[in-house]
Amino acid sequence: MAMNRSASAAAALSVPFPGDVLDLDAFRGAPLSAAPFEHVVLRDFVKPGALRRINEDYPVIGGTGSFPLDALKFGPAFQALIDALESADFRRAFEQKFGMGLASRPTTITVRGRCSPADGKIHNDSKSKIITVLLYLNAEWHDTGGRLRLLRSGGDLDDYAVEVPPCGGALVAFLRSGRSWHGHLPFSGERRVVQFNWVHGSGSRRLTILRHRLSAAVKRVQGLVRPRGPEYS
């Protein structure tokens, strides 16, 4: 019994506190760029020490597409990341940066694990979204594909103002608008992304969650999602 308590204590010590996960001070100091639309890009937004532990506890996702949290199994360090995203400090930092109140706005979180060559085509987020926050959690990135591009128009993937490698705890956050076009060159393989959104209303939130839940259910039936073992149930 003593050994079990000791193991539990050691595991608890390895889990980052929400305040140790995200570099909100760096975010507060980062500029809000206006071109090609309002956005913030910040490397190492997920603190390096936390990133390693989060990746150890990242959900095992065998298929492409976005999955809601309740469709996945994951460990405590990944949960600490979710707690940090849902914290009042995180919300207040974004309220200050984008100059708007978000306390009454519902939120959604989805997770990706893999990318297919069909992903990344030029698109704009749905009108139900207010702010999109993307966290890129691969440890490193060497491929020319899969790098997010913030585009000047909706018709040319090479007409971009910013390109961000999806790795190292990088943050891309932008205000959804009629010109917030983005995409990336084709890539096939592991591409770990957590997407957080503030949305306009509870109906938008329910619709987003339902859409991703149905997609996840189909993929699970097809054997594409392999949840972790029962220790995370």
Q: How far apart are CA 125 and CA 123, in angstroms?
A: 7
Annotated domain spans of the chain: 17-102+109-140+147-224
Q: Which residue has the higher pLDDT, 51 or 212?
A: 51
Q: State the average pLDDT over residues 210-214.
A: 48
Contact (CB, 8 A) for 147 and 163? yes
Q: What is the mean pLDDT of the chain?
A: 86
Choose the CATH number for 17-102+109-140+147-224 among 3.20.190.10, 2.60.120.620, 1.20.140.10, 2.60.40.10.
Answer: 2.60.120.620
Please list, residue by residue across 101-130, b when 16 or more beta carbons sit within 10 angstroms of its beta carbon and e when fewer do: ebeebbbbbbbbbbbeeebbebebbeebbb
pLDDT at residue 155 is higher than 70: yes
Residue 207 pLDDT grade (very low, low, confident, very high; cuts 50, 70, 90): low
pLDDT in tens, 94-153: 999 999 999 999 999 999 999 999 999 999 999 999 999 999 999 999 999 999 999 999
SS3 sequence of 99-144: CCCCCCCCEEEEEEEEECCCCCCCECCCCCEEEEEEEECECCCCCC
pLDDT of residue 203: 56
Q: Which residue has the higher pLDDT, 218 or 126?
A: 126
| Residue in 69, 89, 105, 111 with CA at minimum distance from that of residue 23 | 89
Q: Report the DSSP beta bridge partners of residue 190.
A: 114
Q: Which residue has the higher pLDDT, 41 or 230?
A: 41
pLDDT of residue 5: 38
Q: How far apart are CA 231 and CA 56, in angstroms?
A: 14
Residue at 129: amino acid letter:
K
pLDDT of residue 170: 98
pLDDT at residue 14 is higher than 80: no
Q: How far apart are CA 143 and CA 188, in angstroms?
A: 10
pLDDT in tens, 139-151: 999 999 999 999 9
Residue 211 pLDDT grade (very low, low, confident, very high; cuts 50, 70, 90): low
Q: State the average pLDDT over residues 196-219.
A: 60
Residue at 150: amino acid letter:
L
Quote the pTM value: 0.83
Mutual angle of helices 48-56 and 76-85, in 10-degree steps = 120
